[in-house]
Structure 1
Amino acid sequence: MAFHSPTIHADLDSLRSEITGSLALPGEPGYELSTPWNVAVPVRPLAVVEVHDARDVASTVRYAARAGVRVAVGRTGHGAVPIEDDVLFVHTGRLNSCVVDAEARTARLGAGVIWQDVVDAAAPHGLAPLCGSSTAVGVVGFLTGAGIGPLVRTFGLSSDHVRAFELVTGEGDILRVSADQHAELFWGLRGGKSTLGIVTSVEIDLMQLSHFYGGALYFDGSDAAAVAHAWLDLCADLPEHTSTSMALLQLPSLPQVPPPLAGRFTVAIRFASVAGPNEAEALLTPIRGVATPVVDAVGMLPYSAIGAVHADPVDPMPSHEFSCLTGELTHGAIDELLTVAGPESGSPQTVVEVRLLGGALAREPRHRSAFCHRDAAFTLFTAGVPLPVQRAIEAGVAPVVSHAGRVEQAMSPWSTGRSLPNFASSADPKRIARMYDEDTAHWLSALAEEHDPAGVLRVGPVVRDVGGASSDRGVIM
C-alpha cells in the first residue's frame, strides 16, 4: 500500500493516539531515526514509530494488521536491509533500561540498549557481557543473530547465555519467552533474527571477568604473506582460552585512523585471551618473530576496552558486505586469499577478515537454538565502501561488489556454502537460506506462520514458507 494513500494518512493519526511514543512521517522530526548505519541501504518506510514500551510495539503491530502494511524493527541500523514505503519502522531507542544484578550475575536490557552501555554498567562489579566485536551495536539484533564476539571460542555464542526475552508477536501478543515458557520460541529467537517477533527486552548472564589479554598487532602489507601463514599455524590446536582473527586492511586517511595505518595496506592479527598474560603472550611469539609490527596494541586490557580488539568504525558509512563459512583452511587457501585480496591484488575492500571459530562455539549448549553450522572452522567477511556512493546505490553495482564475488569464487574450494545470520545481513532469500539447515528453516517458518499468520513481520532477514515460491520482498517464500 503506497505511502501517499489518504486512508493510510488518516489511520496513522489513529495510531498516534494509541501509542505513548511518537510517530513521524517523511520530512517530520523523528523520521531520520530510520537512517541506517550503513547509509548505502535504502530505508524509506511509511513512517517511523519511536516506541516507548512493549505496548507501543503491540499497538503498532495490530494497526499494521488492520491496515495491510508490514512492520520492521531497528536500533542502530548495522544490519540494515532495504525497507519500502509499505513498512512501518519501529525504532527501539527509547527502550534503554539497563539493570545489572551483580549478585545473580545477570542483566535485564531494553531493546534500545547498545553493548557499550552494558559493558560500562557491568564493569564496576567485575562482570562482563558477551558483546560483539563492536560495542556500538544493539544488544537485541546481535543476540537474535546468535552473537559471535571476541571471546567466542572461550564462552561460546552470546545467545547461549540468554535467560529470557520479552517478545511481541506478529499478532500483537506480549510474551515472556524462556527455556520454561514458550520454549519453541526461545529456541527460535536465538539465531532466527526477526522471524518470530519483535524483542523488546532480554535477560542475559554476565561473566566474572574484569580484564583480558588482547588487542591487535598491525603489520605492513609487505609482510602479509609471512604474517598470514604464521597466523594459520597459530590457529592449529589453539587453546579455547583464546580467540583470534586475521584482517587484511586498507583504512582510509581520516583523522580517526592512526597515522601508521592510514592510507596503506596493513595486516591485523586480532587476539583475545582469558589465559594468564605470560601464557597468552607466548602464543603470539611466532607471529612477532616473522615481522615487526607497525603498531603493537596487545597487552592486558580492562574488559571495558574489548572494542579495541577489532576497532570497528563508529561513524555511519556506506558499505557492501559479504560473508561465508569455511571448513579447515590450508596454506594453499591463504595463498589464494592473498592473490585475490592481498597487497598486490588491487582489492577495493576496506577489510577482509578470517575469524577462527571452534572451541566452545562448536559444542551444543544446555538449551538448543536455531543457530546452525557449529562445525564450521572459520568465517570469512569482506566489507568495502562503494564509491562514488550515489552511483553505486542507483546502479546496484560497484567494483567492491564484483570483487566480493571474486573473493567468494577464490575461496569456494574451502567454503561450506553457508553463512552466519549476523554477518552481511541480507533480504535476499538465497542468502538467508544459507544461514540455516533445512530442518531449522522449516521449524522457523512453521513458528512464524503460527505467531504471525497475517504476515505483518514479513520483511527483512526472516524465514517464511520454506519450499514455496521465491519472493523479492526480503523473505524466504
Structure 2
Amino acid sequence: MTVTLDAPYVDSDISFDALRAELTGDLHTPDEPEYDALVSPWNLAVPMRPAAVVAVRTAEDVVAAVRFAGAHGFTAGVQATGHGAERSLAGHVLVLTRGLDEVTAHPEGWARIGSGVKWSSLVPEAARHGLAGVNGSTTDVSIVGYTTGGGVGPLARTYGINADRVRAFEVVTGDGVFRRVTATEYPDLFFALRGGKGAAGIVTAMEFDLVRMPEFYGGAIYFDAEDAAEVIERWRGWADELPELGTTSFAIFQLPPLPEIPPPLAGRMSLAIRFLWTGEPSEGARLLNQLREVAPVILDDARLRPYTEIDSVHADPVDPMPVVDPAILLDAFPAEAVERLLAVAGSGSGSPQVIVEVRHLGGAYAREGAHPSAFSHRAAKFSVLTVAMAMDDAMAAAALAHADQVFTALADWDTGGVWPNFGIPHDAVSARRSYDEQTLARLREVVDTYDPRGVLQAGAYTRA
C-alpha cells in the first residue's frame, strides 16, 4: 500500500514494502484486517490511526522502523498497552512493542524486561525469589511506559518512584541509532528517559532494581458514601501521621450494578480507603483499625497478602474501555478541600465520575533519586484523578466538564502540574503541566541532540 501525507512530511506516495521486507515482525496498513486490533489502545475513547503499525519483535525492527520514518519524512510513535493513549502521539508509523516480551527476575534483586512487558508478567517471576517491583496501581500496564512517566504506585512513600530504580535502558533514538543508556553512558539520555515519557527514544529493554517483599498487609476497606465526610476527615490526619512504611489513597466509587461487582458496592456510591503497609503486618492492621472504627465498614478487603495480590489495593479494571481521566496535583488537602470536593463529587452531587481518587504522597516519593531525572513533581503532597466512562462524545464532554468543576473546587491548592502518566505531554500546554521550565529546557536539548529531524512523535512537545 502507498500512503500520501500532507506537506511538510512527504512530497510523494511512499510504499511500505521496503520496510516490510526488512522486518522480523509484521507491518499492517489500514486496508488490512489486522490493523484495527493492533492500533487499538486500552482506552477505547482514543482512536489511533497511523499510516502503518509495525508490530516489532526485535530491537532491530525498531531501528528499521525509525530509520524508515526518518528517511521518508514520517514521524514514529510508540505503543505497548495504550493505557496512556493520546491520539496525536500515534505518528505516521506506530511502533507496537508488545512483541518485546523478555522477562527475567534475578534473585540478586534486579530485573530485565522487554518494553512490551506488563507488570503482570514480572510480578509472579519476581515473587519466586521473594522480590517485587515498585509497580503501579494496576499490573496491567507496561513497565516501560509506567517508568518513563516516573512510575508512582502503591509503594511510593516507602520506595519512591520506579524511575529512580532504573539501572539501564536499551533504546533507539530518533536518529535511528540503538544505544545502551546508563547513569554514566549517555547520562543526558538517562535523565530524559526517566520521566520524559518517550521523548528521547523508543525503549526496547530496561533493567532495574527490585525490592525484597514476599508479602504485604493491605487492600481496601469500603464505607457508604454518606459517611465520606467523617471518614475522609479522619483519613487526612491519619495519613499525615503515617510512617513511610505505609502508602494510602481514597477513592469515591460509583460502580454499576453488575454481577462481577461485589454486592456491597454494586449500583451505589461508596468510599474506599486504600492502604499498603510494608512493615510488620500486625502494626499495619492496628493502624488501619483506626479508620475501621470511624464508621460502619460495608466491605473489608484488607489483610496480609502475598505480593502477587498487589492489584487488590486499587482494584483497577483490566478490560479495555472508553474513559476520560484527567488529573491534577495538590500542595495541600485541608478540611475546606474535603468539603468542596464532596460538594461536587460526593453523595447527592450528581457526579458522573466512576472514580474520584486522592492519593497521599510524601515520604520516599518526595526525595530525589541518586541520579537526576525528568520527573518534576516531588513537592506535590496529593494527586487527584477523575475517571468517567466515555461511550460517546456527549458523555465524554459531560465528564470532562464535571472534572473541571472538581478541579476548580480544588484550585486553591492546585500546583499547576500533573504526572506525565496522568497528563500525557503532547503539546505546549500539557508539556508545561508535566515539567518545570528547567526540566523542559533540558529535555529540549536532549531531543535536539538525538532526534534533530524530529522523527519521534513523542518528542514533539519539547518543540511546541
**Shorter-chain TM-score range:** over 0.9
Q: Kindly indicate whether residue 52 of structure 2 is the aligned counterpart of residue 54 of structure 1.
A: no
Deviation at 1:69, TM superposition (A): 1.0
Q: Kindly indicate whether the alpha-carbon contact (under 8 Å) linking 1:191 and 1:369 is maintained by their aligned counterparts in 2.
A: yes
Q: Distance in 2 between matches of 1:97 and 1:29?
A: 27
Q: Kindly indicate whether the alpha-carbon contact (under 8 Å) linking 1:192 and 1:462 is maintained by their aligned counterparts in 2.
A: no
Q: Distance in 1 between matches of 2:414 and 2:242?
A: 21
Q: 2:446 maps to what in 1?
A: 447
Q: 1:34 maps to what in 2?
A: 39
**Residue identity (%):** 45
Give the TM-score normalised by structure 1. Answer: 0.93
Tell which deviates more after alignment, 252-261 or 320-329: 252-261
**Aligned partner of 2:278 among 274, 278, 283:** 274
- Write the deviation string for residues 358-389 of structure 1: whole angstroms up to 9, x where unpaired: 00011111112111120111111111112xx2
Q: Distance in 1 between matches of 2:373 and 2:174?
A: 21
Q: Distance in 1 between matches of 2:393 and 2:373?
A: 41
Q: Kindly indicate whether residue 384 of structure 2 is the aligned counterpart of residue 380 of structure 1.
A: yes
Q: 2:371 maps to what in 1?
A: 367
Q: Kindly indicate whether residue 143 of structure 2 is the aligned counterpart of residue 144 of structure 1.
A: no
Paired AA for residue 130 in structure 1: V
**Aligned partner of 2:98 among 84, 93, 98:** 93
Q: Kindly indicate whether the alpha-carbon contact (under 8 Å) linking 1:96 and 1:113 is maintained by their aligned counterparts in 2.
A: yes
Q: Distance in 2 between matches of 1:218 and 1:341?
A: 17
Q: Kindly indicate whether the alpha-carbon contact (under 8 Å) linking 2:281 and 2:304 is maintained by their aligned counterparts in 1.
A: yes
> CA 1:464 to 1:425, structure 2 compared with 1: closer, same or farther past 3 Å?
closer
Deviation at 1:432, TM superposition (A): 2.4
Q: Kindly indicate whether the alpha-carbon contact (under 8 Å) linking 1:22 and 1:51 is maintained by their aligned counterparts in 2.
A: yes
Q: 1:472 maps to what in 2?
A: none
Q: Can you give the 5+ residue segments of structure 1 that lack an aligned partner in the other structure?
A: 466-476
Q: 2:70 maps to what in 1?
A: 65
> CA 1:300 to 1:95, structure 2 compared with 1: closer, same or farther past 3 Å?
same
Paired AA for residue 101 in structure 1: H
Structural mapping, 1:358-437, within 5 Å: 358-386=362-390, 389-392=391-394, 398-425=397-424, 427-437=426-436
- Write the deviation string for residues 278-330 of structure 1: whole angstroms up to 9, x where unpaired: 21112122211111111100010111111110000001111111111111211
Structural mapping, 1:237-256, within 5 Å: 237-256=241-260
**Aligned partner of 2:187 among 178, 183, 196:** 183
- Write the deviation string for residues 162-200 of structure 1: whole angstroms up to 9, x where unpaired: 100001000110000001110111111100001101000
Deviation at 1:217, TM superposition (A): 0.5
Q: Can you give the 5+ residue segments of structure 2 that lack an aligned partner in the other structure?
A: none
Q: Distance in 1 between matches of 2:279 and 2:219?
A: 14
Paired AA for residue 141 in structure 1: G
Q: 1:329 maps to what in 2?
A: 333
Deviation at 1:275, TM superposition (A): 1.5
Give the TM-score normalised by structure 2. Answer: 0.95
Q: Kindly indicate whether the alpha-carbon contact (under 8 Å) linking 2:43 and 2:82 is maintained by their aligned counterparts in 1.
A: yes
- Write the deviation string for residues 65-122 of structure 1: whole angstroms up to 9, x where unpaired: 11111111011110000148861111111100001211x2111100111001000111
Deviation at 1:144, TM superposition (A): 0.2
> CA 1:270 to 1:84, structure 2 compared with 1: closer, same or farther past 3 Å?
closer
Q: Kindly indicate whether the alpha-carbon contact (under 8 Å) linking 1:356 and 1:377 is maintained by their aligned counterparts in 2.
A: yes
**Helix, strand or coil at the partner of 2:356:** strand
Structural mapping, 1:112-127, within 5 Å: 112-127=116-131
Moved segments of 4+, more than 3 Å: 2-10, 83-86, 390-393
Deviation at 1:391, TM superposition (A): 3.5
Q: Distance in 2 between matches of 1:274 and 1:101?
A: 21
> CA 1:143 to 1:280, structure 2 compared with 1: closer, same or farther past 3 Å?
same
Paired AA for residue 99 in structure 1: T
- Write the deviation string for residues 216-264 of structure 1: whole angstroms up to 9, x where unpaired: 0011111111111111121122100000001011112223321211111
Tell which deviates more after alignment, 419-428 or 315-324: 419-428
Q: 2:219 maps to what in 1?
A: 215
Paired AA for residue 313 in structure 2: V
Paired AA for residue 392 in structure 1: A
Q: Distance in 2 between matches of 1:289 and 1:86?
A: 52
- Write the deviation string for residues 24-77 of structure 1: whole angstroms up to 9, x where unpaired: 111424312110111111211111100011111011011001111111101111
- Write the deviation string for residues 123-159 of structure 1: whole angstroms up to 9, x where unpaired: 1111111110110000110000010011100000111
Q: Kindly indicate whether residue 260 of structure 2 is the aligned counterpart of residue 260 of structure 1.
A: no
Paired AA for residue 340 in structure 2: E
Q: Tell me the number of residue pairs that the alignment of Structure 1 and Structure 2 aligns.
A: 458
**Aligned partner of 1:233 among 224, 237, 250:** 237
Deviation at 1:428, TM superposition (A): 4.2
Paired AA for residue 392 in structure 2: Q
> CA 1:326 to 1:217, structure 2 compared with 1: closer, same or farther past 3 Å?
same
Q: Kindly indicate whether residue 317 of structure 2 is the aligned counterpart of residue 313 of structure 1.
A: yes
